[in-house]
Amino acid sequence: MVIALLKGNKPVSYISETAICDICGSKGKLVDGEKLKKDLKFEIENPVGFYECSNPKCDVAYFNKELKIYFLKQDISSK
C-alpha cells in the first residue's frame, strides 16, 4: 500500500509502507511519527516518512530514504 501526503486536496508526496535500508539492505517498515518522537533522545520537527530497520545487527534504528536521514540505535532513548 502507498500512502499519499496531501496539501489541501492535492497529493504532494507518496510514502510506501516499506523501504529498504541503504546501510544494510534489510526491509524497513513505516513508523508512526508519534512513536519516532517518543523513541528518540532528542526532538524531531517533522517525523513523517521514517522507517524502522528490521535488521538487529544494523546500526540504523530509523531512516528516511527521501531525506537521507539515518537515526542510529545510539540515538534511541532507553525508556
Q: Is the CATH number 1.10.10 carried by domain 18-75?
A: no
Say yes or no to pLDDT of 78 above 50: yes
- pLDDT for the residue numbered 4: 46
With cut-offs at 50, 70 and 90, classify the pLDDT of residue 1.
Answer: very low
- Going through the chain in order, the beta strands assigned E by DSSP cover 2-7, 10-16, 18-20, 27-30, 51-53, 60-64, 69-72
pTM (2 decimals)? 0.80
Write the pLDDT tens digit of every residue in 15-68: 789 999 999 999 999 999 999 999 999 998 888 899 999 999 999 999 999 899
- The CA distances from residue 73 to 10, 26, 41, 59, 63, in Å, are 36, 15, 10, 6, 11
Question: Domain residues of the chain, as ranges?
Answer: 18-75
- pLDDT for the residue numbered 10: 58
